Amino acid sequence: MIKTKKITILGLGSWGYALTMVLHDKGHLINVWEYDKERLKRLEKDRKFDLIQGTEIPENIFLTNDIQEACLGSDLVVFAVPSHGIRSVAKLLKDKNIKPKRILSVAKGLEYETLFSMTEVVADELGYPNADIYALSGPTHAEEVSRKIFTTVVIAGEDELVLKELQEVFAIDYFRVYISQDLRGVELGGAIKNVIAIATGIADGLNLGDNTKAAIITRGLAEISRLGKLSGAKPETFYGLSGLGDLAVTCISQHSRNRYFGEQLGRGRKYQDILNEMKMVAEGVSAAKSIYKLAGEYNVEMPIVREVYNIVYYNKDPKVAVVDLMGRSLKEEES
């Protein structure tokens, strides 16, 4: 049995909380860093987690706004902040001269300016070799993990021995962990699926039915695989947990923020109005911009991503976008 670890979670959003509970149930010592001081005071006082109904924060989980205090003596630092906050948190570590022994990113997305994955952003800011930073991904809704509903994930990185150690750190009866050495593929699948989920949500908002949704998921997976292969990922990765698995759950679940965002677009609501009412981030909004840019750099045809990008950033009518997708020139399925 693996020995108890001291683990720091950076970010107490829904996913940060869910992983905190997994690690707590496994018997590890957990420090959680939360940037919002006022929210932290409320959480410390009543120990009730505010983003998932009916959940609590055990007394032996240490909460702090001091990132140095949070990371002191940690065996593992987990980046659980939204993708747009990854670089700023990594910079905070650098400015405080905090040098984690091992880093795991659980955020999904690409940085628009650099087109770096989340592990690449952390490595770039901290000056670490990419090989020293790992990623966890897969079909995971925090609401279900928090209720200990059976879930499977994949942890990716370069060193197989470290992967096996991290596998043991997280694995518990309701949270099964696989490992992969295709870090590029695992991170790319997790980023693009959010864009495809917006597309399936748009279909829901337009009341287009199950046939349409199945087509978007299937052809969306083809787009993910096409871009992934050209950017150095293994094609088979996209048929695993971080590809098809994550794509499916994000496109069909009522928990999915990206699907919900797309549904509201399909009903005719405006981008900013939807975001203003949402308590949590829909990562596919920023990902659409980044993936569209990355597809252009590789000269990859990604029509679903393109139409989502045009709807979100150029107010294209979703009904027109569907007509344009259906009216494209006919071709073989494999192309």
pLDDT tier for residue 189 given thresholds of 50, 70 and 90: very high
pLDDT at 280: 66
pLDDT at 270: 86
pLDDT at 129: 82
pLDDT at 97: 95
pLDDT at position 26 over 60: yes
140 Rama class: left (phi>0) / alpha (psi -120 to 50) / beta: beta
C-alpha–C-alpha distance, residues 18 and 141, integer Å: 9
Percent of the chain with pLDDT over 70: 98
In the structure encoding, which two tokens stand for residue 53, read together?
């109904």
pLDDT at position 228 over 80: yes
pLDDT at 63: 97
Q: String of b and e for 137-151 (b: at least 16 CB within 10 Å)? A: bbbbbbbbbbeeeeb
Catalytic residue of the set 101, 193, 270, 331: 193
Contacts 24+ apart (CB under 8 A), 158-166: 158/130, 158/131, 158/183, 159/131, 162/102, 162/134, 163/134, 165/2, 166/76, 166/102, 166/104, 166/134
Average pLDDT, the chain: 95
pLDDT tier for residue 50 given thresholds of 50, 70 and 90: very high
C-alpha–C-alpha distance, residues 64 and 59, integer Å: 13
pLDDT at position 276 over 90: no
User: What's the full length of the chain, in residues?
Assistant: 335
Helices 257-266 and 303-314 cross at an angle (nearest 10°) of: 70
pLDDT at position 1 over 90: no
pLDDT digits (tens, 9 = 90+) for 231-257: 999 999 999 999 999 999 999 998 899
Helices 210-230 and 303-314 cross at an angle (nearest 10°) of: 100
pLDDT at position 170 over 80: yes
184-326: CATH topology: N-(1-d-carboxylethyl)-l-norvaline Dehydrogenase; domain 2 (1.10.1040)
pLDDT at position 335 over 80: no
The answer to whether 265 and 312 have CB atoms below 8 angstroms apart is yes
pLDDT at 131: 73
pLDDT at position 279 over 60: yes
pLDDT at 3: 82
Q: Where are the domains of the chain?
A: 6-181, 184-326
How far CA 33 is from CA of 72, 137, 281, 314, in Å, comes to 11, 21, 19, 37
pLDDT at position 128 over 90: no
Q: What is the pTM of this model?
A: 0.94
6-181: CATH topology: Rossmann fold (3.40.50)
Strand partners, 6: 29
Interior angle at CA 145, CA 144 and CA 151, nearest 5? 100
pLDDT digits (tens, 9 = 90+) for 281-328: 678 899 999 999 999 999 999 999 999 999 999 999 999 999 999 999
pLDDT digits (tens, 9 = 90+) for 51-102: 999 999 999 999 999 999 999 999 999 999 999 999 999 999 999 999 999 9
Of 2-6, 111-115, 313-317, the one with minimum mean pLDDT is 2-6
Known catalytic residue at 48: no
pLDDT at position 261 over 60: yes
Q: Which whole number is the average pLDDT over 18-42?
A: 97
The sign of the CA dihedral 151, 187, 135, 109 is negative
pLDDT at 275: 80
Interior angle at CA 95, CA 279 and CA 284, nearest 5? 30
pLDDT at position 157 over 80: yes
